[in-house]
Amino acid sequence: MKASMYGILAAILVCGISCQSNKKIDARIAAHPKTFCNPLNLSYRFMKIPEGAGIREAADPVVVPFHGKYWLFASKSSGYWYSSDFNTWEYVFIPDSVLPIEDYAPGLFVHEDFLYYVGSTRGEAMLYRSAHPESGEWEEVKRIGANWDPAFYVEGDSLYLYYGSSPSDPIQGQCFNIHTLEAQGEPIACLNSDTKAHGWERPGEKNELERRPYIEGAWMTEHDGKYYLQYAAPGTEWDTYADGAYVSVHPLGPFTYLPNSPVAYKPTGFIGGAGHGCLFQVGKAYWKAATNAISVRHMFERRVSFYPAGFDADGFPYTDTAWGDYPQYLPGTAEAGERPAWMLLSRNKPVTVSSALADYPATYLMDEKIRTAWVAQGNQDEWVIIDLENESDIAAIQVNYDEYGATGQGQQPGLYQSYVLYASHDGETWYVIADKQNKRTDMPHDYIEFETPFAARYIKWENKKYTVSGNVSLRELRIFGHGRGKQPASPPDFTITAHPSDACRATLAWEPSEGAEGYMIRAGIAPDKLYHTFQVTDSTHFELTGLNAGVTYYFMIDAYNANGITPGVEIKKLK
């Protein structure tokens, strides 16, 4: 009787698996996506300098609401973008004869139905304005002492200018009459670096270098009657690139350092760095636009990302970069500031490819590192097949292209990447899930959200046309959704050890959690302010190198895998 019952159950199980593997996969791309995935999918321009040929960059983003749209300016982009929904970005090419658009760190503000622009210069710079920036028409206004990395804040009849980019000079502020643009006093020194007390300001990928950092990228935000002056350190080429903040009751200070600095910080994950950007609002919600580091072929190889941000009940600013390069809801949507419960399904999964150059293997597609890439031997009939090892529910896919072999400079017409994505239950019968073979746009970080998650085990990317170079290359093919297994059994128990001679460093160590693929460390200056996050894989210890001396820190660790997150339950204090 029992044997007969087991046989029936086994037959049902086999039938279920067989039926699942034969079921047609019907996947549809969302017509009106609600999510996006960092870095932003923009047509990043190639550098114009001789040593930067074939290398994309964009940095120092400023987002400004104007005429019902959001305008995104970034360094070295030969133009700017605008959007009404944060999903589709329209690009406006600007020749140098119209605007000094190739200057670094654009400064912008809105006044009396005009959008104003100035770029970084040493000394005076021309201020421009436009009533219709979508047309690309700008006019000269007046020369002002904008200096390097200018940022503006408008309050009543006053226009406040903040500037500075130096390893020695401070960030400075100055007030102007917004109508006459005449200075209303001398520049005032607002803040400077303090690497003895602020570990995160120390240069280096692990804040290990002893030289002074560049202090730059000022940005002012008023919130509840207080003025928050933000600034970037220690250098754009490192994942430790971040923004700190000082606060005052007046736009020109005096300023007091905020102990939860850096207030925008992302030293780990698929793409690191969260420095030199801006805070902007969509409705009542705050967002942080920030600079990410790649910096493989050139130190200024960079991208732009958006992260949810805000101020807590005690007036401390924060930026939520936990899972910051996973899908999250678009600004302006009902769920903005949150993210869907989709996990990364593809990390370190088996992958086969049509061909590969010796130093750029297929495994680089799955290592969750934007600084590595798979490079094919050509750019024609190339393909990638990923085995997720188990049936999973797939909700979104991000296709991150590399630029191996590219030689173009500036904004290149005619560049595009076209491809087709397939899914399969068994690796033999394939179904088209995204047909982009007719795509003729340059989108190096293409992101696809599906209307509803679909079940599959295998994903195939097939190249159709690649005009960037003679070798198609991908940094990462990232698949998001839900696994069908169990979450980690429990969060890890951990210990914290202070550095014996450096108050800005400490080490966390923990026992592995059963079933965990990685861990998310949460740190902060109070149990309810764990705003700093560090994503750790392939290790059960982590050295914190960017703490503030004299500040008490609290920690918690979550465990995660492709099936979900098991939140930490114990918060420990660094003694």
| C-alpha torsion sign, points 371, 375, 379, 381 | negative
pLDDT tens column, 217-267:
999 999 999 999 999 999 999 999 999 999 999 999 999 999 999 999 999
Q: Compute the distance between CA of residue 231 and CA of residue 193 in angstroms, rounded to an integer.
A: 10
Q: Are 555 and 488 in contact (CB under 8 A)?
A: no
Per-residue pLDDT, 21 = 58
Note the pTM of the prediction, 2 decimals.
Answer: 0.95
Q: Compute the distance between CA of residue 244 and CA of residue 242 in angstroms, rounded to an integer.
A: 7
Residues in the chain: 575
Per-residue pLDDT, 11 = 41
Instruction: Break the chain down into helix, strand, coil percent, rounded to 5.
Output: 5, 45, 50
| Residue 501: other Cβ atoms inside 10 A | 6
- The residue whose two tokens read 């965990």 is 516
> Three-state SS across 498-563?
ECCCCCCCEEEEECCCCCCCEEEEEEECCCCCCCEEEEECCCCEEEECCCECCCCCEEEEEEEECC
Token pair recorded at residue 67: 């005429």
Beta strands at 302-311 and 317-319: parallel, antiparallel or unpaired: antiparallel
Q: Compute the distance between CA of residue 157 and CA of residue 498 in angstroms, rounded to an integer.
A: 50
Backbone angles phi, psi at 364, to 5 degrees: -65, -20
Closest to 312 measured CA to CA, from 155, 153, 530, 569 = 530
pLDDT tens column, 42-81:
999 999 999 999 999 999 999 999 999 999 999 999 999 9
Q: Compute the distance between CA of residue 479 and CA of residue 488 in angstroms, rounded to an integer.
A: 20
- Residue 192 Cα to chain centre, angstroms: 26
Per-residue pLDDT, 1 = 40
pLDDT tens column, 437-458:
999 999 999 999 999 999 999 9
Per-residue pLDDT, 436 = 97
Per-residue pLDDT, 10 = 39
Q: Compute the distance between CA of residue 573 and CA of residue 556 in angstroms, rounded to an integer.
A: 9
CATH numbers and ranges of domains, the chain: 26-30+343-482 (2.60.120.260), 35-329 (2.115.10.20), 494-573 (2.60.40.10)
pLDDT beneath 70, residues of the chain = 1-21
Largest CA distance in the chain: 96
Token pair recorded at residue 320: 């939520």
Closest to 422 measured CA to CA, from 411, 414, 430 = 430
